Amino acid sequence: MASDRPGRAAAGPATAARRLRAGREDEAEALSELALRSKGHWGYDRAFLDACREELRLRPGEVAARRTTVAEQDGRILGFATLEGDGPEGELGMLFVDPEAIGGGVGRLLYRHVLAEAGRLGFTRLTIEADPHAEPFYLTMGAQRIGEAPSGSIPGRALPLLAAWP
């Protein structure tokens, strides 16, 4: 199948079947586990992941409040993202992709959706506390590094602090 854009493969049936939707309260545990699996993709050991578990937890009462968006394909959750805050500045609180789907455009789809939704809601800037391994993705997507933020899970660890504009 040919593409009409140089350097890109044409979107096949798998891409067409992806959809974004609002997260549901009953998915909180599954989304939290996906976040841990996604974090584990970077080779962190069990002790590190256990230290991050609470910070990566999404509770049922938070799913709607954190404006959770889920990417799915054929009923399978591929990833999710949260848009947090009340504006005009907010935060891309979480963006995680199932390890089996990393590299397939799910992160890009979620990121672009969150930026568009932020713009629709009147946000003028989003901050992102990124995992160091994810920083290149965000920079490629147009975010800019504005500093560092202390990790909420690992004392003494600093995370890249980025900004993005809807």
Q: Read off the pLDDT of residues 131-162 as tens digits, 9 standing for 90 and up.
A: 999 999 999 999 999 999 999 888 899 999 99
Q: Tokens 């938070």 correspond to what residue?
A: 62
pLDDT at 112 over 90: yes
Enter the pTM of the model. 0.88
Give the CA-trace dihedral at 58, 59, 65, 68, to 10 degrees.
40
**b/e sequence 83-92, b meaning 16+ C-beta within 10 Å:** bbbeeeebbb
pLDDT band at 8 (very low <50, low <70, confident <90, very high): very low
pLDDT at 4 over 90: no
pLDDT band at 5 (very low <50, low <70, confident <90, very high): very low
pLDDT at 12 over 90: no
Beta-ladder partners of 129: 161
Q: Read off the pLDDT of residues 29-87 as tens digits, 9 standing for 90 and up.
A: 999 999 999 999 999 999 999 999 999 999 999 999 999 999 999 999 999 999 999 98
- Residues whose CB is less than 8 angstroms from the CB of residue 140 and which lie 6 or more positions away in sequence, other chains included: none
Q: What pLDDT shows up at residue 17?
A: 67
Of 2-6, 32-36, 51-55, 99-103, the range with the lowest mean pLDDT is 2-6
CA 141 to chain CA centroid, Å, is 12
- Residues whose CB is less than 8 angstroms from the CB of residue 157 and which lie 6 or more positions away in sequence, other chains included: 150, 151
Which amino acid, one-letter code, is at 61? G
pLDDT at 10 over 70: no
Residue 114 structure tokens: 């969150």
Q: Tokens 């002790």 correspond to what residue?
A: 47
What is the rounded CA–CA span in Å between residue 19 and residue 72? 6
Q: Tokens 């995370």 correspond to what residue?
A: 159
* DSSP strands (E only) in the chain: 18-22, 68-73, 76-84, 89-97, 125-129, 144-150, 158-164
